[in-house]
Amino acid sequence: MVQLREKTAETADFISIARKIHVITKTAGIPLLINDRIDVALAIGCEGVHIGQDDMPLSTARQLLGPEAIIGVTANSAEEAITAAKAGADYLGIGTVFATLTKENTKSIIGVSGLRDILQSLAASSETASVKTVCIGGINASNCQRVLYQSATPSKKLDGVAVVSAIVAAANASEATSSLRKLIASEPPFVNAGRKRLEQLPKRIELDVPTHVKAVAETNPLCHNMTNLVVQNFAANVALCVGASPIMSNNGLEASDLANLGGALVVNMGTVTPEGLSNYLQALRAYNAVGGPVILDPVGAGATQQRRDAVRQLMAGGYFDVIKGNENEIRTCAGMSGVQQRGVDSGASTATMKEKAELVKTLAARERNIVLMTGEVDLVSDGHMTLAVSNGHKYLGNITGSGCTLGTTIASFLVVNREDQKLLKVLAGILVYEIAAERAAERADVKGPGTFVPAFLDELYRIREETKTGDTEWLTRAR
Ligand code: 3NM
Ligand code: MG
């Protein structure tokens, strides 16, 4: 549909523009709606109007335009959406999804999770469940597929998207429109791999885990780390030991070339700066565009305002296949208020295992990805099934970068066997990593955290070499 949105023209000019456009849309068989101005719609006899919350009430517009007219209403909250749907709106324009320069005085930026909440509220009642919906605000070719995918609830999803600048500010409006149409009719590149849901923890774990360990060792997948300056060296060594091919680059400009080489990306915001953040966002878009797996390590996410903002922008800026963090970091990602974190340590928790598992599962279901909360017991969920892993060793908490390099390991595992379930590959990465730590800590030459680090690298390497030859005894330690 075309909506004519004209905020400054005199009425006579508005009507004249509208008439000309209506000739075009009628020829194409496409409805034309007028924004706000019922009088203009009546004057030219077009198909309907779009009204905002501060415009003429829907019931009055309906009286004036009749039952056949298409009337759309702007909704910024679940309450507004439900009211408009019950009052007989034909569709809702839900927004503002992302900050946009196109409209002044947008009420609030609801993000993809706000959009999803509104769709869920509409789905809850039969009176509102069938209203058509589009989202609006900052939607363009780079994010429309992800927004449609991540906002979808099991019972209601968007019918489409509404855009202004993505078409009218494009060099070629016609090409931009057909490209958007193609995009929204297909799923984003990142859903194709690993989307089969894991229905139960398979007996196959003894088979699956070694398969993935071998695949990493044999194919040396590229693992692109945008990581903090504390762990660059260690992360590169861990990647090499599990069999991946690491590249450490924080330069967003080369991310597109790297993404095209078919690897995975780790975004670790341990030493985030404003410039770093824009590099991460650029890289995230590049990997999303080709469906390359991306893992977010929101280091110290709740510690400072800068970090909270960075997490929000990253999660709004693209799709992460995996979000991995400690309890506080995961809470921050879930957008819970009142999370104050000291430094990057996880701090003491008062939550029960059940509450933590619920949080992990809810966030994964909301983001339609995998969420891993590390701790003494690691909890990992795809939004349907949640697994607990209790391997590992306390030395991992006494050295720097153990969380970050787990992210690197998992990223390396996400690249291989692309059709297989992501949850199993994440599990494989965790098990290799934590069982290597247990074996290292038990070695007679390991006296503490200092001697642990090289022994840990050795054990990562040994586990992969053993697995290559078919020796999977190490996996019997999995808990
Ligand atoms: N309504 P662009 S946002 C017209 O939130 C309009 O209700 C909005 O423009 C709302 O696609 C918006 O260029 C502008 O971001 C959308
Ligand atoms: Mg309006």
Ligand in nearest proximity to the CA of 100: 1
Evaluate: CB of 153 within 6 angstroms of ligand 1. Answer: no
Evaluate: CB of 143 within 6 angstroms of ligand 1. Answer: no
Query: Which one, of 117, 34, 44, 47, lies nearest residue 75 by Cα?
Result: 117
Evaluate: CB of 77 within 6 angstroms of ligand 1. Answer: no
What is the per-residue pLDDT for 192? 60
| Ligand 1 atom with the shortest distance to the CA of 169 | 13
Residue 245: Cβ-neighbour burial (10 angstroms; 0-12, 13-18, 19+): middle
What is the per-residue pLDDT for 206? 75
Of 144, 223, 333, 404, catalytic: 404
What is the per-residue pLDDT for 91? 98
What is the per-residue pLDDT for 200? 63
Ligand in nearest proximity to the CA of 136: 1
Q: How far is CA 372 from CA 43, 161, 264, in A?
A: 58, 31, 17
Domains in the chain (CATH in brackets) are 2-191 (3.20.20.70), 205-477 (3.40.1190.20)
Q: Taking ligand 2, which is a single-atom ion, which protein residues have CB atoms under 5 Å away? A: 52
Query: Which one, of 248, 210, 189, 194, lies nearest residue 408 by Cα?
Result: 248
**3-state SS assignment for residue 198:** coil
pTM as predicted: 0.82
The overall average pLDDT reported for the chain is: 92
Told to judge if 404 belongs to the known catalytic residues of this protein, a careful annotator would answer: yes
Kindly state the percentage of the chain with pLDDT values over 70.
95
Mean pLDDT of all residues in 119-128? 96
**pLDDT (tens digit per residue) in 419-438:** 778 999 999 999 999 999 99
127 alpha carbon – ligand 1 mean position (Å): 27
What is the per-residue pLDDT for 101? 84
Instruction: Report which residue type is found at 199.
Output: E
Query: Which one, of 5, 78, 8, 83, lies nearest residue 41 by Cα?
Result: 5
**pLDDT (tens digit per residue) in 32-70:** 999 999 999 999 999 999 999 988 899 999 999 999 999
Pick from 97, 102, 110, 142 the residue to mutate for probing ligand 1's pocket: most ligand atoms within 8 Å of its CB.
102
Residue having the nearest C-alpha atom to atom 5 of ligand 1: 96
Residue having the nearest C-alpha atom to atom 6 of ligand 1: 103
What is the per-residue pLDDT for 173? 96
**pLDDT (tens digit per residue) in 192-231:** 655 555 566 666 677 789 999 999 999 999 999 999 889 9
Mean pLDDT of all residues in 136-163? 94
| DSSP bridge partners of 50 | 35, 72
What is the per-residue pLDDT for 338? 46
| Ligand 1 atom with the shortest distance to the CA of 165 | 13
Structure confidence at residue 408 as a pLDDT band (50, 70, 90) = very high
Mean pLDDT of all residues in 150-157? 93
212 alpha carbon – ligand 2 mean position (Å): 52
Evaluate: CB of 35 within 6 angstroms of ligand 1. Answer: no
| Ligand 1 atom with the shortest distance to the CA of 168 | 13
CA 30 to the chain's CA centroid: 33
Contact 98, 315 (CB under 8 A): no
Ligand in nearest proximity to the CA of 76: 1
Evaluate: CB of 164 within 6 angstroms of ligand 1. Answer: yes
What is the per-residue pLDDT for 232? 94
83 alpha carbon – ligand 1 mean position (Å): 21
Query: Which one, of 268, 292, 238, lies nearest residue 433 by Cα?
Result: 238
Kindly state the percentage of the chain with pLDDT values over 90.
81
**Low-confidence winner among 1-10, 112-121, 288-297, 339-348 (lowest mean pLDDT):** 339-348
| Ligand 1 atom with the shortest distance to the CA of 139 | 11
Structure confidence at residue 337 as a pLDDT band (50, 70, 90) = very low
Evaluate: CB of 74 within 6 angstroms of ligand 1. Answer: yes
What is the per-residue pLDDT for 59? 94
Evaluate: CB of 114 within 6 angstroms of ligand 1. Answer: no
- Interatomic CA distance for residues 8 and 14, integer angstroms: 9
- Interatomic CA distance for residues 161 and 238, integer angstroms: 43
Ligand in nearest proximity to the CA of 75: 1
Residue having the nearest C-alpha atom to atom 15 of ligand 1: 138
138 alpha carbon – ligand 2 mean position (Å): 15
Residue 315 or residue 196, greater confidence: 315
Evaluate: CB of 137 within 6 angstroms of ligand 1. Answer: yes
Evaluate: CB of 103 within 6 angstroms of ligand 1. Answer: yes
**pLDDT (tens digit per residue) in 444-477:** 999 999 999 999 999 999 999 999 999 999 999 9
Above 70 in pLDDT, residue 126? yes
